[in-house]
Amino acid sequence: MGIVYALWSGMGIVLIASIGWAFLGQRLDAWAILGLGLILAGVVVINTLSKSVPHG
């Protein structure tokens, strides 16, 4: 359950930040973009490589 919560939380952070940037004019500096990229990378790694999440 913890992995699923972490995945949904991470994707929510990226989605809300993206909406803020695209529609509300929120500025994202290089550190923010790097952090969001690391969150996305973590979600991809967990979903594709981790044995903690059932695949299939």
| Start-to-end CA span in the chain (Å) | 17
Both tokens of 51, joined, read 């044995």
Q: Would you kindly state where each structural domain of the chain is located, as residue ranges?
A: 2-47
Global pTM reads 0.78
Q: CA-to-CA distance for 31 and 53, rounded, in angstroms?
A: 29
Query: What pLDDT, in 10s, does the model give residues 9-42?
Result: 999 999 999 999 999 999 999 999 999 999 999 9
Classified as helix, coil or strand, 35 is: helix
More confident residue, 53 or 25: 25
In sequence order, the 6+-apart residues with CB closer than 8 A to the CB of 27 are 21
